[in-house]
Amino acid sequence: MSFSASFSININMNIFWLLMMLSSMLVLLIVNPSEVLSEMIGASTEALELCLELCAVYVVWLGFIELIDASGLSNKLAKLLRPLIKKIFKVDNEEIQKIIALNVSANMLGVGNAATPMGIKAMQALDDKSGKANFAMIMLVVINATSIQLLPTTVIGLRASAGSANPADIILPTLIVTITTTILGIILVHSIEKIRLKIKGRKKK
């Protein structure tokens, strides 16, 4: 994705969130104007508290992933996942396979923010400068969107901060759902790619 396209998306998202905030404030002004200021302050306080509570979770797992990379375990992990990554992504470059392996591992641990830097690096490495998303880039987006969750760390952290009696009881249903969506996503991307190549081959004839 080009810088201009990324910048445009960021602006559009900022406009979207601004409109949502303004419309919410307008509704509150109409319904209960005396509560506008207190609600804004309360929401800001709650958001800050949530960020601080999740900060510890991300610090632990980001540090864990950094240790994996520094110790050389990332290379072993890449070798372990290489046959699967090569088959799914159709990528032969070992360095890209390593980055994708770290991205997938972070997602499996439910630390989406920790997976983002590796995802960006992988996207940059996979970019063929054509201005279009290729097969491997599309597959990476789908894998990150569906993402098998062995340990949904972020969600567990959110549930724990919200006072859940058993924040980890979502592990099994989350695992079942994410395995299903990941397999389905991979099948769909490969199927659509085969159809695209067939259509492209017919056009050349």
DSSP letters, 32-60, are -GGGHHHHHHHHHHHHHHHHHHHHHHHHH
Give the pTM.
0.67
Confirm if 75 and 110 have CB atoms less than 8 A apart. no
138-170 pLDDT, tens digit per residue, is: 999 999 888 888 777 778 777 877 788 888 888
Long-range contacts from 179-187, C-beta under 8 angstroms, 24+ separation? 179/148, 181/146, 182/143, 182/146, 182/147, 182/148, 184/146, 185/142, 185/143, 185/145, 185/146, 186/88, 186/139, 186/142, 186/143
Bigger pLDDT: 191 vs 200: 191
Query: Which of 12-21, 109-118, 192-201: highest mean pLDDT?
Result: 192-201
Strand, helix or coil at 155? Answer: helix
